[in-house]
A and B are shown apart, each in its own frame.
Chain A
């Protein structure tokens, strides 16, 4: 009788241990706005949605360099795994501090918002350069450097041509 009960307990334990990791609802966050949620684990597949920085996603499945996730709103798709972080956005709560202590990635959605609104050489930087007698050419070189842009589409085409990033095989 006792042995039978023990057997039941052990079976129960083993079945709980064998639960898939996906059942444990792993939450990750989108690192950068414009991240593509795609229909398959392939960069060439259809884009289901583009996600904003800090968006929480639940990991459903892992396949190579892609994670299948469910985004807020219930949309399911695949994301290139290095576009995700374990660190919750600032103020978003959810275990960030513990993950920080473990060496989690350091980024926050809060910075993204301020980052996009702060552009151009700061007036104080220009004032400092002038006070030090630094030539106008050097000041203008920084301004030109800031104005030089490559679009997300150009980067995407570049990766595709080089079989890099989400296009890596």
Chain B
């Protein structure tokens, strides 16, 4: 009897052990998930209800459940119940903005970037270099399957921007502050992360311009240019004046660092550039100072991040190549 009991106990322990090990093995993708899960910032989770399709059971319970219960108990009249139900479905059913719409929004904002921030810096060799670094980093991002375009802005202010749909900008002033290719990869990685994580789109979806709508389609915007105008006005105010939520900037810093590391650069590139920006008087004239958290706060959030990247200090920063690619072109 005792031996039998012992067998069952051993079997139970085994099942627990097996279960645990299988779960951990099943989710171990050689660091792929581990690498990604760690930098994930909270906002992504908070925004899930707005961008992700609602889970059916939850919808059913909310639509029919509590409101229906309120109606049947006489706490809510039928009309209010219907209004509440439609409100719930409007909030929950907002369709994520599609790529075509994203590109239209991003293209309009890209035109504004050139219009507001010095226009294009015309140097083909330098543009090619920035495109090569940017494309390499985008290729190992979480969204490598869209086209990315990189341009240099003709302004001495150290600025960088990303607009939805794959448009990335760095200013000539910023390139002058950088000391090596790893720093450039980190800066471009930060901008690419805004696109891969659809930060601007998520901000638009939460904004006033789309209030009460369930989707944003190109057909609807073509029919109503006023709607498109409202969306662009709202998002340009955020990107160029007020700035995105701080948490989204911290998230872009983390993923920018991650992408540069994946490409094989020393993972401290972005961190080191933020330090330089913080120390430079030029930093004050940068769009970063008005639209981003302070360099101190950004460094605080990044502190410890590079510790996650084993052996990254041995990875190249490519100072020599950066100097030779930019010499006489800035």
Contact = CB atoms under 8 A, between A and B. Distances in A.
B131 interface: yes
Interface in A15-51: 16-17, 21, 24, 26, 28, 31-33
Interface in B106-157: 107-108, 110-112, 114-115, 119-120, 127-128, 131-132, 135-136, 139-140, 142-147, 149-151
Contacts of B232: 128
Interface in B1-23: 3, 6-7, 10-11, 14, 17-18, 21-22
Interface residues of A, number: 73
Given A122-B103, A150-B132, A103 B115 contact: no
Interface of A is mostly: helix
A62 B136 contact: no
B145 A17 contact: no
B104 A125 contact: yes
B228 interface: yes
B88 interface: no
A83 B140 contact: yes
B209 to A, nearest CB: 14
Nearest to B259: A82
Contacts of A55: none
Interface string A101-134: 0111111010110111011011011111101001
Nearest to B318: A162
B10 A10 contact: yes
A141 B110 CA distance: 9
B218 to A, nearest CB: 7
Given A104-B33, A162-B318, A164-B316, A141 B142 contact: no
A85 B145 contact: no
A124 B222 CA distance: 7
Contact of A103 (B17, B18, B40, B229): B40
A159 interface: yes
A71 interface: no
Interface stretch (B24-32, B277-285, B301-309): B24-32
A85 B265 CA distance: 20
A69 B145 CA distance: 21
Given A122-B104, A138-B111, A115 B147 contact: yes
A115 B132 contact: no
A67 B112 contact: no
Contacts of A121: 107, 111
B114 A142 contact: yes
A67 B158 CA distance: 40
Given A32-B139, A107-B143, A124-B104, A17 B7 contact: no
28 contacts: A6-B7, A9-B14, A13-B14, A32-B139, A82-B263, A83-B144, A85-B32, A85-B142, A103-B44, A105-B142, A107-B142, A114-B99, A115-B145, A122-B103, A124-B221, A125-B105, A128-B111, A129-B111, A129-B112, A131-B229, A134-B112, A146-B149, A162-B181, A162-B321, A163-B264, A165-B139, A165-B264, A167-B264
Interface of B: 3, 6-7, 10-11, 14, 17-18, 21-22, 25-33, 36-37, 40, 44, 98-100, 103-105, 107-108, 110-112, 114-115, 119-120, 127-128, 131-132, 135-136, 139-140, 142-147, 149-151, 167, 181, 196-197, 218, 221-222, 225, 228-229, 232, 262-265, 315-316, 318, 321
